[in-house]
Chains A and B, each alone.
Chain A
Amino acid sequence: MSGPRRPTDPPGLERYYVLTGGRSGPGGSASTLDVATLIISRAAAEPGLQHEHEEILRRCRDPLSVAELGAHLGLPFNILAVLLADLLDAGRVEARDPIPASGAGRGPDLALLEEVLSGLQRL
């Protein structure tokens, strides 16, 4: 349900301030979040959760990227990252970073590139 915004929602900066409890940037677990990081719910939404947290848990039953979440929830990246940090720290969501073309110490990932190539060729 992406119902209409509650009329009490403050606009702009004030709204973000309320959402994040005044925190300006994510720390710890969320500091490496990428726009293409996939978020997957690992717990069901419970009563008492902040509305936005609940919304994230609900939308991420199937993996969804941070960018998609931001677009659907209408939240800028840095605000969303703060909210995701809460959920990550509580173990309520899992974050999977995008696979890089070559991992540290294991060289280029040819199998991955081959997989992407055959997927594109089927388009």
Chain B
Amino acid sequence: MDFKGFDHPDRQTAGGGTRSVKVMIAGGFGTGKTTLVRSVSDIKPLTTEETLTQASVDVDDLIGVADKQQTTVSLDFGKIGINEELVLYLFGTPGQERFWFLWNGLFKGALGAVVLVDTRRLASSFRAIEEMERQDVPFVIALNVFPDSQDHPVEEIRDALDIPEHTPVVTCDARDRNSSRDVLIALIRHLKARSAVALEPR
């Protein structure tokens, strides 16, 4: 292979051994998914899109169909440099869960997920929780504390959302970088604990 003309002549192969991992940020509309991504990301959050068009467009029909019904579904994301060779990508899922199928198995290959919950509107995150359980994605629940949120005991909310005992429920302020980071730490600790159990000899 010819690498002439590359900016990094000193490197054997461009990119070294850099790898990625991903964590999904789910939750109902307006629960603070993008806010959390923004507060903890190393880069200004970006948006990647997918376009849904009516059925498949026939070649001959293409001219003049540019104004055909198109739905754009977007995914906000950010990234965190874990170390020189590992990058963590955070993807805020679209509020409309019915579009999650658009990206090749959006949750496949994710380490896990954070499901954000607005305690003033618990129901808005029901669907996201169900979807994590259905797709067998390990997750933690993060109660995003809004200025006018009432102080609910965590256990009360766990009951209301029907969250199993082994799934952590934490509180956070998604606008705060440290608080958002702590949610991610809670998720990774949870994943470690699950793994340790899985590794125990039966």
- B partners with A: yes
Does A87 make an interface contact (CB < 8 A)?
no
Does B160 make an interface contact (CB < 8 A)?
no
User: Chain B's nearest CB lies how many Å from the CB of A48?
Assistant: 15
Q: Which of B20, B40, B102, B199 contacts A123 (CB 8 A)?
A: B40
A61 and B14: CB pair below 8 A? yes
Does A89 make an interface contact (CB < 8 A)?
no
The interface of chain A, by Cβ under 8 A from chain B, is: 10-14, 16-17, 22, 24, 31-38, 40-44, 61-63, 65-68, 70-72, 76-79, 91, 94, 96-102, 107-110, 112-117, 119-121, 123
Assembly CA distance A12 to B31 (angstroms): 31
| Interface flags, B178-192, vs A, CB<8A=1, else 0 | 000100110011011
Tell me how many residues of B have a C-beta within 8 Å of chain A: 71
Does B4 make an interface contact (CB < 8 A)?
yes
The interface of chain B, by Cβ under 8 A from chain A, is: 1-8, 13-15, 18-22, 40, 46-51, 53, 56-57, 59, 62-63, 65-68, 70, 72, 75, 77, 79-83, 86-89, 91, 102-106, 108-112, 138, 177, 181, 184-185, 188-189, 191-192, 194-196, 198-199
- A22 to B, closest residue via Cβ: B59
Secondary structure at the B interface, as helix, strand, loop or mixed, is: mixed
A107 and B14: CB pair below 8 A? no
Assembly CA distance A65 to B77 (angstroms): 11
Assembly CA distance A44 to B94 (angstroms): 36
- B181 to A, closest residue via Cβ: A123
A-B contacts besides A37-B20, A98-B19, A99-B20, 6 pairs, CB < 8 Å: A12-B67, A34-B22, A36-B91, A40-B13, A65-B79, A96-B18
A13 and B91: CB pair below 8 A? no
B22 and A116: CB pair below 8 A? no
Q: Which of A22, A36, A96, A116 contacts B188 (CB 8 A)?
A: A116
User: Chain A's nearest CB lies how many Å from the CB of B99?
Assistant: 12
Given contacts A38-B20, A107-B199, A112-B21, contact A13 B15 (CB under 8 A): no
A13 and B194: CB pair below 8 A? no
- B46 to A, closest residue via Cβ: A71
